[in-house]
Amino acid sequence: MARKEIRISGFGGQGVVLSGQILGQAASIHNSGFATLTQSYGPEARGGACTAEIVISDEPIDYPYVQEPDVVIVLSQEAYTRYAQNSAALLIIDPDLVKVGAGQKEPLKIPATRMAREMGRVVVANIIMLGYLAALSDVVTSEGLRQAVLDSVPKGTEEFNARAFQTGHEYGLEHGRR
């Protein structure tokens, strides 16, 4: 595995940073690689801009910042405006939260927030998104990412989060390829 760079961006309260932590854990613990995480967020705890940037490699990482992401996951319109201009990246959006401009690169889409709401807990939208990423990308193994999810969620919610991950993964296998 070469160096992979992932940017997850949205707003506070969507689990953006947790998603980055889980992805890094999957790479470093469950896939025996190396990972760094940098995060930034506005002064508001919820509702402000939030970004998690993850660098994954099979070698020690000498520069921990994302320069040219391989994957960009966008969960807010503001994040789309700011980060979706990288045409080389695999772009994934929640179409209920992000509208793509005319003439823009067509992203991969998963209505993760709606799917989470239908499951009864909107807070698992980020886990659904990670399942989708696992189905469509080789940044980490699907099983490694699934295990990192289970290791990271609150005790007693593992089964529900496993279902959320599987929901996103199955959606990716069925609908993710263009």
pTM of the model: 0.92
The DSSP H or E segment spanning 174 is helix 158-175
Tens of pLDDT, residues 114-124: 999 999 999 99
Residues of the chain with pLDDT under 70: 1, 42-47, 85-87, 177-178
pLDDT value, residue 57: 96
Helix, strand counts (H, E) of the chain: 6, 6
Contact 35, 55 (CB under 8 A): yes
Residues in the chain: 178
pLDDT value, residue 46: 60
Give the closest residue to 147 by CA, choosing from 66, 8, 32, 39.
Answer: 32
Report the C-alpha gap between 140 and 83 in whole angstroms.
22
pLDDT value, residue 40: 86
Q: At 119, give phi and psi (nearest 5°).
A: -80, -15
Domains of the chain: 4-175 (3.40.920.10)
